[in-house]
Amino acid sequence: MKIVVTGGSGNVGTALRRHLEFEDAGVDVRTLSSLRDAFRGADVVVHLAWAIKPTNRETNVDGSEHVLAACVKEDVGHLVLASSVAAYGPARRWSRVDESWRLTGIAGNTYSAHKVRLEEMISRYPLPCSVIRPCGIGQASAARQIRRWLLSPLLPPKLLPYLPIPLWNDLRLQLVHADDVARAIVEIVRRKAFGPFNLAAEPVLTAPMIADRVGAARLPVPYPVVEKLAGATARLGLQPLTPEWVRMADQAPLVRTTRAHEDLEWWPEHDARDVLREVVDAMGGRA
């Protein structure tokens, strides 16, 4: 079986390499002709290439459309696409949504809007598709990149345990390890399981749990204050986390993973608390 992957050097792609033999497409997804050459003769294409921060329409939207078109033209038998829980619209705060929840995204977040567009495009192409919708994905090797997305370049990560973290009281966060996402993709390919699959590990992390895993004190701050503080400090270039990302952390719904359990026999091997600790330890050079 010939399996071709776009974005094979990214967070999920590097984990997938540990679980599955594949050919890295090794081309710019913005170029349709190159994708056709890379996909020729492929039985399965796994599309992971995505620009997260900064988001990039040419890669995320136009590039994904090129992937879909190239798969149709080269008669690829199975396409696996990486979407996100960010494609879902908000839900009741502590409820969990399944794969039938509305795909309206988080207002004002470009990353979310691009994932919504990806989901819309899928229905326009006559392809056997599987879609993974993971929550936040972590592993030690991605810590440097995650650090650039979250932390001020002026803040040495080793100081994290010594500084209070401003977190709002009703914050809730789902995480999953990159290896567990890779294992789900392997099962999707092996079983030819089509349709969407939510992916997340337990437990749901609350503000006190996050502070505990980081090893720092928590500074309880109302959500509106955190959003305004992020905007002011981001505009000054003091840190990279803009209000649209804080808003997504607050509004993205929690997901139910029943379908992955039942249809893929998939259960995460990594606890969400341990995923967070692995990333934080790697940020601070403790891994």
- How many Å apart are CA 86 and CA 198, to the nearest integer? 11
Cβ–Cβ contacts within 10 Å for residue 12, how many? Answer: 25
- Each domain of the chain, given as residue ranges in start order, spans 3-281
- How many Å apart are CA 230 and CA 148, to the nearest integer? 15
Closest of 133, 110, 132, 124 to residue 59, by C-alpha: 110
pLDDT along the chain (287 residues), means of 10: 96 97 94 94 97 91 96 97 98 97 96 97 93 98 91 80 89 98 98 98 97 90 95 92 95 98 98 96 71
Give the pLDDT confidence score for residue 163 in this predicted structure: 84
Pair 218, 167: CB distance under 8 Å: yes
Give the pLDDT confidence score for residue 285 in this predicted structure: 59
Cβ–Cβ contacts within 10 Å for residue 61, how many? Answer: 18
78 is written with which tokens? 């199975």
CATH homologous superfamily, domain 3-281: NAD(P)-binding Rossmann-like Domain (3.40.50.720)
Q: Torsions phi, psi of 142, nearest 5? A: -95, 0
Q: Identify the three-state secondary structure at position 3.
A: strand
| Alpha-helical runs (H) found in 77-132 | 110-122
Cβ–Cβ contacts within 10 Å for residue 152, how many? Answer: 14
- How many Å apart are CA 188 and CA 124, to the nearest integer? 22
Q: Would you list the DSSP string of 144-193?
A: HHHHHHHS-TTS-GGGGGGS-EEE-TT-EE-EEEHHHHHHHHHHHHHHT-
Q: Is the pTM of this model over 0.85?
A: yes
Helix (H) or strand (E) segment spanning residue 78: strand 78-82
